[in-house]
Amino acid sequence: MSTGPLVVVGDALLDRDLDGTVDRIAPDVPVPVVDNPVIRSRPGGAGLAAALAAHDGLDVVLVTALGRDAGGREVTTLLAESGVHVEDIGLGGRTPEKVRILARGRPMIRVDRGAQVASVDVLTEAARAALRDASAVLVSDYGRGITAAPAIRLALAELATRTPMVWDPHPRGALPVGPVTVTTPNQHELAHFMASAVIDGIASLTTAAQMLARRWSVMVCVTCGARGALATYADGPPIVVPAPSVSAGDTCGAGDRFASAAASSLSRGAVVTEAIEDAVTAATKFVFAGGAASVGPTGRGQAAPTRQVGTLAQRVRDRGGTVVATGGCFDLLHAGHVAMLQAARRLGDCLVVLLNSDASVRRLKGPGRPFQPQRDRAAVLCGFDCVDVVEIFDEDTPIRALERVRPHVFAKGGDYTHADLPEKTVLDRWGGQAVVLPYLPGRSTTRLLEEVRHRA
């Protein structure tokens, strides 16, 4: 298996959200007035897919075409902040931009600018080298010409038989090149490719997906929103992966999250069925966290920044949901930790894990701890389906972090009483409740360390 980067090939856009409040109607025309909108920018299209893959902790190279304009420069900066290296082969026109107008996080209208199709047919030597060394390739087609360029198609065709490749198609885009690993149309795209008005239900989805798989000679994985995904080859029974249940969320960017998560899993050596399962889970968590609007420049770390954690918690509160938090060092994870995290998640609608930083663990546990750095501990926690987001804090207790998150419930694992919980006082300020969730009998980090020393 190659240890090279995950390479994303496709059309990058600049996405902007203008999010404000609506409390009145304009006096001259009967339209809502969006007051004091906050402008948030992020990479869009293949740029979003690349940023999401980088958030998974991978080395990511994006091969795309950007305009020589302010939009192109902004996209490049945003991608660099997310840890993505950009190989820009040049658009020759304006960088495409999508603008959403929102009211309290709810989309009202979208405006698209720069819709011209790119006409490029050159691949830089650096881009060729990245493709040759790629551990996996994600083709993120937004129908703007990148995947139709002969030079790019030839390079992708040479890789299709030996490198894991996910092809996320577009109705206006190019067909996959050769036997790619999996292609990921959504239901609407599948209906377009099959010239069908409506495709719904497992039987009709299976029939249409198998016909497309036969036509393209690939595995077809149809993303079905809240129902998960259905994957099939040209014949045989389909693989159906249901999605975890969530109360609500923003589906903007869910397809990019699905495709990038599948490619990330394949790059780490997963088989395609495992990659699809990982992608369903990742896309569901992404939607629940607020979709593309929750994406920020987290760099290469696995933990989310404070702003993103606060955004998730506020969205859950706005929907009338229950925010649950827990905290700890989680240095040597054991079955007791897992049972406690799963139980904590069942207490509400999202679980925020407040993780002691390396410096905090050293002060609490001594100079020989932690055994694993905070980045690795956060990455392991983020891998659990029951954990929605992780925030790392530097203090000895998570009191300041709790003040930022303001959870309804704070769950601690182990033999605690309210007298032992310094967090109880701060929780009382907003009516939060501290609860104790016992570990499984006989499971503790201390016992695990004693066992290791005894056997050494």
- H/E/C letters for each residue in 414-440? CCCCHHHCCHHHHHHCCCCEEEEECCC
Q: How far is CA 452 from CA 9, 137, 175, 377, 442, in A?
A: 47, 41, 55, 20, 15
Asked if residue 330 is part of any domain, the answer here is yes
Which of 294, 319, 352 is where one domain is finished? Answer: 294
Asked whether residue 16 falls in the same domain as residue 58, the answer is: yes
Asked whether residue 156 falls in the same domain as residue 67, the answer is: yes
Asked if residue 108 is part of any domain, the answer here is yes
Residue recorded with tokens 């159906």 = 240
pLDDT of residue 452: 53
For residue 419, pLDDT over 60 is answered with no
Contact call for residues 426 and 404 (beta carbons, < 8 A): no
Asked whether residue 324 falls in the same domain as residue 237, the answer is: no
Domain CATH code at residue 368: 3.40.50.620
Asked whether residue 285 falls in the same domain as residue 311, the answer is: no
Asked whether residue 243 falls in the same domain as residue 180, the answer is: yes
Asked whether residue 239 falls in the same domain as residue 313, the answer is: no
Q: Could you tell me which residues are beta bridge partners of residue 166?
A: 138, 182
Which of 274, 294, 314 is where one domain is finished? Answer: 294
Nearest to 282 by CA among 305, 306, 265: 265
Nearest to 392 by CA among 305, 286, 326, 312: 305
Asked whether residue 128 falls in the same domain as residue 202, the answer is: yes
Which of 268, 294, 320 is where one domain is finished? Answer: 294
pLDDT of residue 383: 76
Percent of the chain with pLDDT over 90: 45
Asked if residue 153 is part of any domain, the answer here is yes
Could you give the CA distance from residue 151 to residue 63 in angstroms, rounded to a whole number? Answer: 12
Could you give the CA distance from residue 148 to residue 174 in angstroms, rounded to a whole number? Answer: 5
Could you give the CA distance from residue 131 to residue 118 in angstroms, rounded to a whole number? Answer: 21
Which element (helix H / strand E) includes 377?
Answer: helix 374-382
* 256 in active site: yes
Asked whether residue 323 falls in the same domain as residue 279, the answer is: no
What is the domain extent for residue 172?
A: 6-294
pLDDT of residue 366: 87
Kindly give, in sequence order, each residue whose CB lies less than 8 Å from that of residue 39, ignoring residues fewer than 6 positions away.
16, 17, 18
Query: Model confidence over 301-328: pLDDT tens digits?
Result: 345 656 567 777 887 887 788 999 999 9
The angle at the Cα of 54, spanning 394 to 292, to the nearest 5 degrees, equals: 90
Contact call for residues 253 and 286 (beta carbons, < 8 A): yes
15, 56, 88, 256: the catalytic one is 256
Asked whether residue 43 falls in the same domain as residue 183, the answer is: yes
Query: Model confidence over 47-78: pLDDT tens digits?
Result: 999 999 988 888 999 999 888 888 889 999 98
In one letter, which amino acid is 9?
V
Asked if residue 242 is part of any domain, the answer here is yes
Query: Model confidence over 189-210: pLDDT tens digits?
Result: 999 999 876 677 899 999 999 9
pLDDT of residue 301: 39
Asked if residue 63 is part of any domain, the answer here is yes
Asked whether residue 207 falls in the same domain as residue 172, the answer is: yes
Determine the average pLDDT of the residues in 91-97.
Answer: 82
Asked if residue 279 is part of any domain, the answer here is yes
Query: Model confidence over 119-161: pLDDT tens digits?
Result: 566 788 888 999 999 999 999 999 888 888 888 999 999 999 8
Give the model's confidence band at 422: pLDDT under 50 very low, under 70 low, under 90 confident, else very high: confident
Tally of structural domains, the chain: 2
Determine the average pLDDT of the residues in 407-422.
Answer: 73
Asked whether residue 243 falls in the same domain as residue 364, the answer is: no
Asked if residue 301 is part of any domain, the answer here is no
Asked whether residue 288 falls in the same domain as residue 322, the answer is: no
Kindly give, in sequence order, each residue whose CB lies less than 8 Å from that of residue 401, ignoring residues fewer than 6 positions away.
327, 354, 391, 393, 395
Asked if residue 1 is part of any domain, the answer here is no
pTM of the prediction? Answer: 0.70
Helix axes 272-289, 306-318, angle to 10 degrees: 70
Which element (helix H / strand E) includes 389?
Answer: strand 389-393
Question: How many CB atoms neighbour CB 41 within 10 A?
Answer: 16
